[in-house]
Structure 1
């Protein structure tokens, strides 16, 4: 038994290490695409148009493209590295719920209510992780890659070498949002040069700059289309106040206890302060008055508080 458990743990470790290594490659891939795109848009196409003095209209268009490109790039990278370096939320040591959220009463849960052996308990009101050997807060799930329970876990993303959970889900959504805007802008900005590849006229530039422009267009078009799909999916999840994992779990549940209406569902992720909605951070006031942003407590519909998913 001991040997089998050791082999299993070793295999899981290899699996996790492989995924983490893949994630590091993905970060380099993202930075590589950003570098190729920057070279094609700024150094090859619109930078020279701005300084060449070819015409006032061309200079104004180039200036508008470059300003918008850099603004979106800053927001994209800020959101991206916020997801990478922000812990998605872990269960505090020896955490126990203060209230029985499933019964919505005011009586503290006692040790006896958890059962003598939580791992073997049949009490449906208490969620317990046998892998971490600890109680699990509402909406918390175990990540096999990270090897721990993550608060309001959505998924483990190899692109950011991190889990997406309660504390960085907003940053992930902003990363998708700004990535879509940036890649769409680049696709439209490089479209004339891409069309010129298939024309009979002479195309200015060296073979290296032409190849870079072509690759930048193809990469950004592919990213724009793929990110659009993810963005639409996560917008629907936010509207229903669910995560990717919960979207599958609640298929057997006719009503979702955490669905508070689209406006309040949105606020559960982005906060109440409108000035912070489009930046990867929260205001101190929101963090103080909204427990849901910390990942341990979530408001629910009173009539559905006894519902389990």
Structure 2
């Protein structure tokens, strides 16, 4: 009991209310960085360059950068707010598992089974059959974990991210991945696909101005605009490099059909057993992005995918055909 209390003393998630409040501030920070980037690239550099272009080639180059920037910006913000406002997945009320994992039978959990399971959980003996959350006082579906910040169990929980004031779980993980690909090392835990493309574009676009700044080349614009351009380049370069590493990590997680929490648990257990949900890269990808290719790169799912693929709902996951109960 003493060791448990000591562990809780270092648990930052005890300060759940503060973290939720901090998340709201971080959303404003994200939007502020977007605003500074927009000001530097569009209003201070490529907007004026388009208007003052001496030739068709210069005008076409500036227009191409502006069009691509605005497209990626729209996709980035769409993905970001989809992560923020989409419920990651909650355990349905009165949910009961349909499969008895201990006996390998399809048999719904009866009331007496549930009461027995509840008693075992409260007495710390656990159950080999069904995962149970003592905080929520309910059984947990496969791959479900309790979030101390949200105060509830989250389906296929990957992690809680204060930068989106939300958990990343079964129903919004795809949106998180799309957002993850250049924004900032500060918010690297949120930025993915469109973020990486956006900041990479900003970095490349502002690179000539950055080089000119240190070569004592005269650059048109006010001192404030030049300072903003310099700051934006440095931030986006740092964001791009930071997010690239984080993006590579999540690509490897998706390819193995696992989550951050599950990967950490496997590492702590030092297990060498195969992962029972690893169906192969193609099917693993579909478990997150769906089958319909037209929806792969937008933060939404087709109705057909939601109907045909229960895994996208976060409650039922297919396992490997060679799984015999010995793997993880």
Q: How does the TM-score come out when normalised to structure 1?
A: 0.92
Q: Which residue of 1 aligns with 2:157?
A: 153
The alpha carbon displacement at 1:112 in A equals 3.5
Distance 2:87 2:25 in 1: 20
The alpha carbon displacement at 1:122 in A equals 3.3
Q: Give 4+ residue runs of structure 1 displaced > 3 Å after superposition.
A: 11-14, 101-104, 111-115
Q: Which residue of 2 aligns with 1:249?
A: 265
Listed as ranges, the gaps of 5+ residues in structure 2 are 180-191
Q: Which residue of 1 aligns with 2:287?
A: 268
Q: Which residue of 2 aligns with 1:59?
A: 59
Distance 1:88 1:129 in 2: 18
Distance 1:30 1:101 in 2: 44
Paired residue for 1:231, among 224, 233, 247?
A: 247
SS in 2 for 1:78: helix
1:288 equivalent to 2:307? Answer yes
CA contact (8 A) 2:212 2:219 kept: yes
The alpha carbon displacement at 1:305 in A equals 5.2
Per the alignment, do residues 192 and 77 of structure 1 end up closer, same or farther by CA in structure 2, a change over 3 Å counting?
same
Q: State how 1:164-243 maps to structure 2 within 5 Å.
A: 164-175=168-179, 176-243=192-259
The alpha carbon displacement at 1:104 in A equals 3.9
Distance 2:276 2:319 in 1: 5
CA contact (8 A) 2:275 2:327 kept: no
Per the alignment, do residues 193 and 24 of structure 1 end up closer, same or farther by CA in structure 2, a change over 3 Å counting?
same
The alpha carbon displacement at 1:177 in A equals 0.5
The alpha carbon displacement at 1:18 in A equals 1.3
The number of equivalent residue pairs is: 301
Higher RCO by CA contacts (8 Å cutoff, separation 6 or greater): 1
Per the alignment, do residues 102 and 72 of structure 1 end up closer, same or farther by CA in structure 2, a change over 3 Å counting?
farther
The alpha carbon displacement at 1:101 in A equals 4.4
Distance 2:311 2:326 in 1: 19
Listed as ranges, the gaps of 5+ residues in structure 1 are none
Q: Which residue of 1 aligns with 2:107?
A: 107
Paired residue for 2:136, among 114, 132, 143?
A: 132
The alpha carbon displacement at 1:12 in A equals 8.4
Distance 2:14 2:108 in 1: 42
Tell me which moved more, 127-136 or 103-112. Answer: 103-112
SS in 1 for 2:250: helix
1:144 equivalent to 2:155? Answer no
Tell me which moved more, 261-270 or 99-108. Answer: 99-108
Q: Which residue of 2 aligns with 1:87?
A: 87
The alpha carbon displacement at 1:307 in A equals 4.2
